[in-house]
Structure formats: structure tokens, C-alpha cells
Amino acid sequence: MNMAQSTITLECSAHASDHELPDVQTTIDSPAEVVGRALLFHGFGRKPDALDELVAVLVENNIEVIRPYLKSKARQGGLNDRDLMRAVAREFAAFNEDTLPVVVIGHSAGGAVAMVAAEQFLQEALTLTGVLLIDSNGKIEELMAPALAALQRELIPVRTIAAAAGRCNRQAQIAHWLAGASAGFAGVQLTTGRHCDVEGSKADVTCRLLCGGAADPKNAAVVYRLTAGWSHAWLTRKSHPEIEPEGERISIWQELNVLKVL
């Protein structure tokens, strides 16, 4: 695979509300040919490298991946800091000066970050094409619902790939909410999905013990295929019919009880 990795620092140090925001170390993985960019947020207690295997699949699909590292336990300016979420989005918009189309992806608590960042992108000069929440968590009324309403007004698709209900996704709370709040296809829920599936072999003992066991390679493969396929379709404006609602692959997975459509 022809891939280059580099790092940049998103300089988010402008004052916001009553505190100064920290700069954010960011990893960039670039394919030889780029059709668009994915801004990818990790979960609580995790680091960007937990999503290495997903990134490799995205890069294989000619998607450049930008991974900010948002510290989970920072007193100020951490993963749950809404000011930092918006500041990262603004800095990324400035970095995206070549105006490539963008998708935003978030796993676990990174899903709330993805939604806030995507909402901020509506005010920036970039082409946002879709948002994907991978077994996400977040404050619905405070963060997720206002962002979804803004994205829906602009006809930006928001989908989820959820695991089975469990401790680390609050009994699939976000998946159920998104399904109810969406007019059409809201994504899928893996019947035997686990919170750490997206991390594949990178899932460590903490994630395994807290979130329902080791990642399932078969489920991880489904997560990667859907994430890369939907992202590539959004970025290129070219549909992948077999993984769209009622598509052949989705139908087969339904018949095999691998997933259910939301």
C-alpha cells in the first residue's frame, strides 16, 4: 500500500470562554491519489493509533485521514470540551485550503465531537459530504440533537454503525435516537457487534474488559467495509449500490442475521 504519514499541530490556543485551548497533535495518513479527506475522532480513553486498521482501509480507498488527539482526562480543553471541538473544526477548515470534500467520522465519545465539528463546518468554507457515527456516545439534547438538526437542514447525511446494546454505548442509545430522528436510512446495528470492533486487533485489554470482550474480526470487516464504502461514495458523489439501503450486500447481511437496518 502506497501511504505517507505525517504529523501537524492544529493551533487551537485562542482563548475560548474562560480558558485557553491547547494545541492538538494531529496525524495525517495520505494515499498517493486523494479523492477527499476524513476527519476521524477516537473514543474516550483512547488515542488515534487505536484506529490504525480502519485508517489503512480508508487510505486504500484513496481517502486522506486526519486524526486529532484529544486527551480524555484534561481538566480543560479535553475530549469533552465543546470549545475545543469547534476550534479543531475551524483549524481543520483552514488546513483544508485545497477545498477537498470532507467526511467526519467518530467512534464512541468521538461521535459527539464529530457532530459538533460537522455543525461548525457548516459555517466554514469547505464541502462537508457526510457524517458517520461508529457506536457513538454523547449528550443528545446538549450536543447531538442541535447538530443533527443543522445538518439535516443542509441535507448532509448522518449515519451510524452501531454495536449490540451494551455498557459502552449506553444500550445503543445514540443508534435508537438517530433512527427515530432520521426521515430515512440511519445506518445499521451489528447483531453481535462489540464496542471495540472498529479497533480490530488494536483493541487493548481495557476496551475488552470494559466493553464486552475482544473485537470480532468478522464484525470489524463489516465496519471497515461500510465506513470506507459510504465515505468514498459521499466524497466522490458516486453511489455504492450494494451497501446502500436494500442493496445486495446489506440484504445478505440481514438474511444472515449479521445486522439490522435502522
CATH architecture of 3-261: 3-Layer(aba) Sandwich (3.40)
Please give the DSSP secondary-structure letter assigned to residue 46. -
Q: Which residues on neighbouring strands pair with residue 162, listed in sequence order?
A: 189
Judged by phi (left if over 0) then psi (alpha if -120 to 50, else beta), residue 135 lies in left
Domain boundaries along the sequence of the chain? 3-261
Q: 243-249: long-range contacts at Cβ-Cβ below 8 A with a sequence spacing of 24 or more?
A: 244/185, 245/184, 245/185, 249/225
The side-by-side arrangement of strands in the sheet containing 101-107 is: 3-10, 24-31, 63-68, 36-41, 101-107, 127-134, 158-162, 187-190, 259-261
One pLDDT digit (tens) per residue for the chain, 262 residues: 667 877 767 677 655 555 677 788 889 999 999 999 999 999 888 889 999 999 999 999 999 999 999 887 665 666 778 888 888 889 888 887 888 999 999 999 999 999 999 999 999 988 999 999 999 999 999 999 999 999 999 999 999 999 999 999 999 999 999 999 999 999 999 999 999 999 999 888 877 788 877 788 999 999 999 999 999 999 999 989 999 999 999 999 999 999 999 9
**SS3 track for 192-217:** CCCCCHHHHHHCCHHHHHHCCCCCCH
> Do 100 and 64 contact (CB within 8 A), yes or no?
yes
> pTM for the full model?
0.94
Start-end of H helices in the chain: 52-60, 82-95, 110-121, 145-153, 173-181, 205-210, 217-236, 248-255
> Do 69 and 101 contact (CB within 8 A), yes or no?
no
